[in-house]
Amino acid sequence: MTFSKRRSVLMAAMTAVVAWSAGGVAAQQTFNLTIGSSHPTTWGPAGLMSNYFKPEVDKLLAQGGNRYKIVWKEAFGGTLFKFNDTMEAVRDGISDIAFVGSVWEPDTMPLSNVTYYAPFVTGDLGMVLATMDKMVRENPALRKEWEANNLKYLGAVGTETYHVWSKTPITKFDDLRGKRFNAPPSNLQWLRNTGAAGVEGGLPAYYANIQSGVVDGALSIYSGVGPFRLHEVASYIAEVDIGASFAGGMAINLERYNRLPKEVQDALTQAGKGYTREVLKITNDNAASTRTATVTAGSKVVKFSEAERLKWAQSLPDLPNEWAKAMDAKKLPGTEVMRAYLDETRKAGAKPLRDWVLR
């Protein structure tokens, strides 16, 4: 082969490589997605959206051949929406993906708050998240509730079991009588018939309310109170183990999701399942480390006996039936959803302190 022929063959090969490379670059499709939360990334589930979910989606897309790429824009710490607007932010496309707190949506997402109406069922957050993750994905009524709000559920967020923080010792059920406690709206019912009064409030207000005497304490969780140093004004902790709860989840705007290629949809779904596992781990780790820190700082922890826990549980109204009937009256399948939740947790090994039975 002459030099000129060899040169022609080499140039043809190089041209083919360049053409293939250009075609490869041109074939990669890019999508812009905004991801955010009303909470800062210092809050575990929000932090995981940034440092776990995003890179996990990117990794899965790369493993699929790099045909698709997501350009992410972050909006954490309430830069786009506040905590009580999370559902609307995703529904209306203000953020493509965000943590949606169903706990703040009693009117638009009531069925997703089923766990708050079945206290003393289980304090195992892993069991609660696994049950609710399955139900939101597979139970038609729950799935419809998310999709009717233009949400495609991706992964679960929850809170570990609730206890009582107070200014004075609470070692038994009767010590609740005459006291006033802050709690989120969904948790106030846990004080009904106990002799204590519930005062609606959120974590940022607990410290000042207890310090000023507006309330005597609060129902809360270790992973929540840590950043607010609640132990400084409420140094007594009664570990009652009222129960773990499902608080909502990460979701993507449904219309946006439906416009994405299946490979991108699958990556989002798979990363969302991993996100639920990571939320469980970081929440339990934060609860354990906060407990250690507060005890080291001088908090006095008392574990309620089973007998005292049972007194509290038995004092409550029949919350599951009450809630189920109220949902049914609104033409929502409350009885169906509550029964499914109680059945699924029992199958998973839960032994409810009070054996709630639907009628």
CATH number assigned to the domain comprising residue 182: 3.40.190.170
Is residue 263 located within the same domain as residue 193? no
Is residue 204 located within the same domain as residue 80? no
Is residue 192 located within the same domain as residue 60? no
Residue 98 exposure: Cα atoms within 13 Å on the Cβ side? 34
Q: What is the pLDDT of residues 40-89, one digit of tens each?
A: 998 899 999 999 999 999 999 999 999 999 999 999 999 999 888 989 99
What percentage of the chain exceeds 90 in pLDDT?
84
Instruction: State the total domains in the chain.
Output: 2
Is residue 194 located within the same domain as residue 259? no
Residue 22 domain flag: no
Asked if 51 contacts 89 with a C-beta cutoff of 8 angstroms, the reply is no
Residue 140 domain flag: yes
Is residue 239 located within the same domain as residue 257? no
Is residue 122 located within the same domain as residue 251? yes
Residue-number span of the structural domain to which 212 is assigned:
163-244+299-318+325-347
Sheet holding 236-239, edge to edge: 197-200, 180-183, 217-220, 163-166, 236-239, 300-303
pTM attached to this predicted model: 0.88
Asked if 161 contacts 223 with a C-beta cutoff of 8 angstroms, the reply is no
Residue 236 domain flag: yes
Is residue 72 located within the same domain as residue 123? yes
Is residue 188 located within the same domain as residue 75? no
Angstrom distance (rounded) from CA 10 to CA 4: 10
Q: Which pLDDT value is given to residue 9? A: 39
Q: Which pLDDT value is given to residue 11? A: 41
Is residue 185 located within the same domain as residue 129? no
Is residue 105 located within the same domain as residue 223? no
Residue 204 domain flag: yes
